[in-house]
Amino acid sequence: MGEEEDDNIKVTLLGSSGVGKTCIIKRYTENSFDPLNQATLVSSFSQKEVDIDGKIVPINIWDTAGQEQYRSLGRLFYKDSRIVILVYDITSKESFLDIKNLWYNDLTTYGEKYTVTALVGNKSDCYEKEEVEEKEAREYAKEIKAHFFLVSAKTGDNIELLFTNLVKEYLGPEFAAKMKEINNEKRKNEKISNKVKQKKKGCC
């Protein structure tokens, strides 16, 4: 298990305004859908308990603002987020390009070193208006080593599967091993840093 073993698992959704991040969260946490949701300002927070093979696992889900003027503030919520969901709208090519040119760059710059990541195409119920081909999205997901899901917040299609699969990977042995490696490296670097500080104090 990851470093948040005794705490709620932090999940963060990233993506441009209007792709349906809030609707995905509400469908998952409340099993409801409101097409008239107001745009999220900076961030909002929801909680949910997930049943993973009979074990109840609490997760905290953070919904970040997609508007350009709030991006710098939203980066504050990347910290300690070990599950990240990159959301685009399949009917908007621009929202997909924003993932490639903005949001994934933000994640790699400001996010944690290692995360369980998913690329999610929302509004799969509007496939007749599709502007982003599934093949292209899957190829990009493979390139950034992310899971890929097509979901519909409106119908609920694949929403439960999305969160359950990501939490399962977080709790799995591969993630635990990677986190152990990262934490060991972090402790090693801290020891080196402390030794350097002590030497500097001693030479004065």
Residue 2 predicted with pLDDT over 80: no
Give 128's contacts (C-beta < 8 A, 6+ positions apart).
none
Confidence (pLDDT) at 173: 87
Is the model's pLDDT at 57 over the cut of 50?
yes
- Mean pLDDT is highest, among 44-48, 77-81, 118-122, for 118-122
pLDDT at 39: 52
pLDDT at 196 over 70: no
Looking at residues 2-28, what average pLDDT do you find?
Answer: 82
Query: What letter would DSSP give residue 117?
Result: E
pLDDT band of residue 193 (cuts 50, 70, 90) is low
Mean pLDDT of the residues in the chain: 84
Q: What is the CA radius of gyration of the chain?
A: 19
**Read out DSSP for 122-172?**
E-GGGGGG--S-HHHHHHHHHHTT-EEEE--TTT-TTHHHHHHHHHHHHHS
Report how far residue 170's alpha carbon sits from residue 123's, in angstroms, rounded to the nearest whole number. 26
Phi then psi dihedrals of residue 85, to 5 deg = -115, 115
Give the position of tokens 């990233």.
14
- CA proximity to 29, closest of 55, 41, 47: 47
Q: What average pLDDT does range 32-42 have in this prediction?
A: 64
What is the enclosing helix (H) or strand (E) of 65?
none
For 139-172, what is each residue's pLDDT tens digit? 999 999 999 999 999 999 999 999 999 999 999 9
Angle (CA) 27 4 30, round 5° = 15
Residue with tokens 């635990």: 176
What is the percent of the chain where pLDDT is above 70? Answer: 78
Q: What is the DSSP letter of 78?
A: G
Q: Which of 46-55, 70-79, 114-123, 173-182 has the lowest mean pLDDT?
A: 70-79
Of the ranges 38-42, 61-65, 68-72, the best mean pLDDT one: 61-65
Q: 47-53: long-range contacts at Cβ-Cβ below 8 A with a sequence spacing of 24 or more? A: 47/8, 48/163, 50/163, 50/164, 50/167, 52/164, 52/167, 52/168, 52/171
Q: Does the structure show a pLDDT above 50 at 41?
A: no
Q: What is the per-residue pLDDT for 114?
A: 86
What's the distance, CA 160 to chain centroid?
15
